[in-house]
């Protein structure tokens, strides 16, 4: 529980948008650039060091600019409201009253329940995110995972 409360701020150098990131969101941001492909539960120190070292390659969710500044999170400003661990939107007080352990907003929880936020597969050779491609053969069609970078 304590681990989920440790957070950092990522600020876009271009548009100055600041996003509060907990361990889950940090892992997703690193996975987007192919850095979290093996360790499903890294130590917090390792996770923070990876985010700091990859800050110049991370994309801003608002303007899609590359290069973010990493700063320590000021917990005083965020303690009054609990934020979703995935999208960082405020979780309504009513939801927290009904579900005291809620860590996601209703929209993100619904997406998770419907399976639309599934884990990504990464290429074993280059670490890129695999994509689903249609494979056609005479008389049939099938889907397969294929790496867009190395083609394997």
- Residues 3-12: what's their mean pLDDT? 71
pLDDT tier at 77 (50, 70, 90 boundaries)? very low
pLDDT in tens, 120-143: 677 888 777 788 888 888 888 888
pLDDT in tens, 14-49: 888 888 888 888 888 888 888 876 666 778 888 888
Q: Is the pLDDT reported for residue 68 higher than 50?
A: yes
**What is the structure's pLDDT at 1?**
36
Euclidean distance between CA atoms 85 and 81, whole angstroms: 12
Q: Is the pLDDT reported for residue 4 higher than 70?
A: no
Domain residue spans of the chain? 2-117, 121-152
Phi then psi dihedrals of residue 31, to 5 deg:
-65, -35
Sheet of 18-21: strands edge to edge? 18-21, 8-12, 68-72
**What is the structure's pLDDT at 2?**
40
DSSP string, the chain: -HHHH--EEEEETTT--EEEE-HHHHHHHHHHTT--SS-SS--HHHHHHHHHHHGGGPBPTTT--B-EEEEE--GGGTSSS-B-TTT-PBPPHHHHHH-TT--S-HHHHHHHHTTTTPPPPB-TTT-PBPEEEEEEETTEEEEEEE-TTT--
pLDDT tier at 118 (50, 70, 90 boundaries)? low
Q: Which of 90-99, 101-110, 111-120, 140-149 has the lowest mean pLDDT?
A: 111-120
**What is the structure's pLDDT at 3?**
46
């Amino acid at each position: 529980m304590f681990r989920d409360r440790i957070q950092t701020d990522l600020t876009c150098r271009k548009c100055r948008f600041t996003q509060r990131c907990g361990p889950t969101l940090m892992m997703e941001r690193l996975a987007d650039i192919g850095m979290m492909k093996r360790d499903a539960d890294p130590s917090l120190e390792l996770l923070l060091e990876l985010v700091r070292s990859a800050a110049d390659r991370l994309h801003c969710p608002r303007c899609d600019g590359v290069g973010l500044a990493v700063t320590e999170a000021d917990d005083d400003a965020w303690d009054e409201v609990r934020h979703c661990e995935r999208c960082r939107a405020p979780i309504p007080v009513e939801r927290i009253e009904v579900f005291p352990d809620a860590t996601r907003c209703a929209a993100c929880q619904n997406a998770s329940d419907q399976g639309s936020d599934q884990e990504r597969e990464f290429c074993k050779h280059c670490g890129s995110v695999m994509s689903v491609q249609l494979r056609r053969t005479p008389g049939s069609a099938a889907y397969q995972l294929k790496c867009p970078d190395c083609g394997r």
